[in-house]
């Protein structure tokens, strides 16, 4: 193959890559579209409480969770936590307008403990999904 053919192939590859990147930005992927909360997989639990809801997703042994406030728009203290049995919890805490998280852990076939809070009100699941 001569250098001209290599250059054309590289240019074609770059054009295809640029077009696919633009398409990915214009049309969200199906995993992300399934969950507006930024977790991949299917929703397996919801844990509602007075000021919000924890949404729990599972895919290929990973568990992902987000806490979503019932009323969005104003900043408030929110948190979400996921802990697989035998490991430390993964936590996201801060001042958010809409949601805390996502946080993801590899649980495999282990039980998980989920917690979420918005404005001092909270929910805690205990060990579930065993």
Total domain count, the chain: 2
What confidence tier does 11 reach under pLDDT thresholds 50, 70, 90?
low
Residue 79 and residue 40 share a domain: yes
pTM above 0.75, yes or no: no
Check: CB of residue 105 under 8 Å from CB of residue 61. Answer: no
* Average pLDDT estimate for 83-104: 97
Residue 57 and residue 4 share a domain: no
pLDDT tens per residue, range 59-85 = 999 999 999 999 988 999 999 999 999
Residue 64 and residue 20 share a domain: no
Q: In this structure, what token pair is assigned to residue 9? A: 């192939």
Residue 50 and residue 15 share a domain: no
Residue 48 and residue 9 share a domain: no
Residue 85 and residue 57 share a domain: yes
What does the mean pLDDT of the chain come to? 82
Q: What is the CATH number of the domain that holds 50?
A: 2.60.40
**Closest to 123 measured CA to CA, from 56, 74, 72:** 56
Residue 111 and residue 59 share a domain: yes
Residue 55 and residue 119 share a domain: yes
Q: Does the pLDDT value for residue 57 go beyond 80?
A: yes
Residue 62 and residue 25 share a domain: no
The whole-number pLDDT of residue 7 equals 52
CA atoms within 13 A on the CB side of 64: 18
Residue 44 and residue 14 share a domain: no
Check: CB of residue 67 under 8 Å from CB of residue 99. Answer: yes
Residue 73 and residue 22 share a domain: no
Containing structural domain, residue 2: 1-30
What confidence tier does 38 reach under pLDDT thresholds 50, 70, 90?
confident
């Amino acid at each position: 193959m001569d250098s001209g053919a290599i250059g054309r192939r590289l240019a074609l590859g770059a054009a295809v890559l640029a077009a696919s990147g633009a398409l990915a930005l214009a049309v969200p992927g199906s995993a992300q579209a399934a969950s507006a909360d930024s977790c991949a997989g299917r929703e397996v639990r919801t844990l509602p409480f007075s000021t919000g809801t924890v949404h729990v997703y599972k895919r290929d042994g990973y568990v992902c969770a987000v806490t979503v406030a019932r009323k969005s728009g104003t900043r408030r203290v929110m948190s979400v936590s996921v802990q697989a049995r035998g490991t430390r919890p993964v936590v996201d805490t801060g001042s958010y307008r809409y949601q805390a998280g996502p946080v993801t852990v590899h649980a495999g076939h282990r039980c998980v403990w989920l917690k979420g809070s918005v404005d001092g009100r909270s929910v805690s699941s205990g060990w579930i999904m065993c």
